Amino acid sequence: MIEDRHIGLAYGNGGRLTRTLIEELFALHLANDELDVGLDAAPMHLPEGMVPMITTDGFTVQPLEFPGGDIGSLAVNGTVNDLAVSGATPLYMTLNAFIEEGFEVETLERLVQSVAAAARLAGVKIVAGDTKVLPRGQGGGLYLATTGVGMRPADLQLGLGRIAVGDRILVSGPVGDHGIAVMLAREAFDLKGPVQSDCAPVNHLTAALSEVAGLKFMRDPTRGGLATVAHEIAMATSTTVRLKETDVPVQDPVKSVCDMLGYDPYYLACEGRVVAIVAPGAADSAFAALKRTPGGEGAAIIGTIEQGRAQVLLETEIGGSRVLDELEDDPLPRIC
């Protein structure tokens, strides 16, 4: 039992309290048949004939809990989703926690339980971890970092290099929910409630897309949102990425908040969406694959890869078009 109500510096010293924190809070909730906190390094059982993939991500979201998620579920889904969009099935994960001195044990426990629930949902096992305690005033409460290992079929070829003029662009659901949900949770606005973060694992969506012949590229539009993914594609392929405003799904409450506060939903982070590029003839089957998969009900075909200068064009509702430039200032810091 952890006797203190708040984490003190001594919980990071490697001695008795560190052991208590790891055994009776982290390992207790993250337990799985391959987690052994007594090891310096954990063995992984990786299926043969597939390509092992690795990715890592840091999380500093503020507030730590928001409608639809928290830093714990975000830390699992962020890394699961980076593996998923690279075509890999996520299998193993590691977890780093940087805890600020004075952090409430009860809150920490709730967030670690959220990590555990998200890991179970995504089907990954957390097999290694580390905790550090930061002196009061140098930590922002809690920061997490996760690293994930997954396996990709050897014959699944995805990449920016496969994209060609004529390809279609899809998104698995409405954009901007996560950004707005976190922003509303942070501010004192009387707008709380209507918007929930889309924070979720996308590995079932990417698995469904991977069955579609003609799938070329997938990415999760996190920091910088849909516009940033579109911009990366335009730059890497020297094409014009044309998006149609009327086709890009944005939920009404997100639209309202954006209109009111001057945000552009296309630059806001999603944490449970996939952007996919497919060959022209594969758009309908990719759309159908998303639609029939849980989490993909709001999918849409939103644009086309066109010949032209490297840029992102948004065809507006009234028939004009505006350029979506690369993101400069940060509209919403610490969203992930």
Residues 284-313 that bind a copy of itself (CB under 8 A): none
Q: Does residue number 175 form part of the binding site for a copy of itself (CB under 8 A)?
A: no
> Which residues pair with residue 323 across a beta bridge?
313
Q: Does residue number 60 form part of the binding site for a copy of itself (CB under 8 A)?
A: yes
Q: Does residue number 143 form part of the binding site for a copy of itself (CB under 8 A)?
A: yes
Q: Does residue number 127 form part of the binding site for a copy of itself (CB under 8 A)?
A: yes
Q: Which of 92, 103, 266, 287 binds a copy of itself (CB under 8 A)?
A: 92
Q: How many residues does the chain have?
A: 336
Q: Measured between alpha carbons, how far is 336 from 320 in angstroms, rounded to an integer?
A: 33
Q: For residue 322, what are its two tokens?
A: 């505006």
Q: For residue 107, what are its two tokens?
A: 């809150």
Angle formed by the axes of helices 71-85 and 105-122, to 10°? 30
Q: Which of 7, 21, 59, 169 binds a copy of itself (CB under 8 A)?
A: 59
Give me the least distance between CB of 13 and a copy of itself, in Å please: 4
Q: Does residue number 95 form part of the binding site for a copy of itself (CB under 8 A)?
A: yes
Please identify, using beta-carbon distances, which residue of 187 and 326 lies nearer to a copy of itself.
Answer: 326
Looking at this protein, which amino acid is placed at residue 140? Answer: G
Q: Which stretch binds a copy of itself (CB under 8 A): 44-52, 253-261, 304-312, 316-324?
A: 44-52
Q: Does residue number 162 form part of the binding site for a copy of itself (CB under 8 A)?
A: no
Q: Does residue number 237 form part of the binding site for a copy of itself (CB under 8 A)?
A: no
Q: Does residue number 176 form part of the binding site for a copy of itself (CB under 8 A)?
A: no
Task: Give the three-class secondary structure for 305.
Answer: strand
Looking at this protein, which amino acid is placed at residue 143? Answer: Y
Give me the least distance between CB of 8 and a copy of itself, in Å please: 9
Q: Does residue number 123 form part of the binding site for a copy of itself (CB under 8 A)?
A: no
Residues 179-198 that bind a copy of itself (CB under 8 A): none
Q: Which of 67, 68, 69, 148 binds a copy of itself (CB under 8 A)?
A: 148
Say how many Å lie between the first and final Cα of the chain, rounded: 31
Q: Is the CA virtual torsion 85, 86, 91, 93 positive or negative?
A: negative
Alpha helices in 123-224 (DSSP H): 177-186, 203-210
Residues 11-40 that bind a copy of itself (CB under 8 A): 12-19, 38-40
Give me the least distance between CB of 332 and a copy of itself, in Å please: 8
* Total chain residues near a copy of itself (CB under 8 A): 78
Give me the least distance between CB of 288 and a copy of itself, in Å please: 24
Q: How buried is 213 (Cβ within 10 angstroms: 0-12 exposed, 13-18 middle, 19+ buried)?
A: exposed
Q: How many CB atoms lie within 10 A of CB 223?
A: 17
Q: Which stretch binds a copy of itself (CB under 8 A): 46-54, 64-72, 252-260, 313-321?
A: 46-54
Please identify, using beta-carbon distances, which residue of 147 and 256 lies nearer to a copy of itself.
Answer: 147
Q: Measured between alpha carbons, how far is 267 from 66 in angstroms, rounded to an integer?
A: 20
Tell me which DSSP letter residue 327 carries: P
Q: Measured between alpha carbons, how far is 284 from 299 in angstroms, rounded to an integer?
A: 11
* Element at 82 (helix H, strand E): helix 71-85
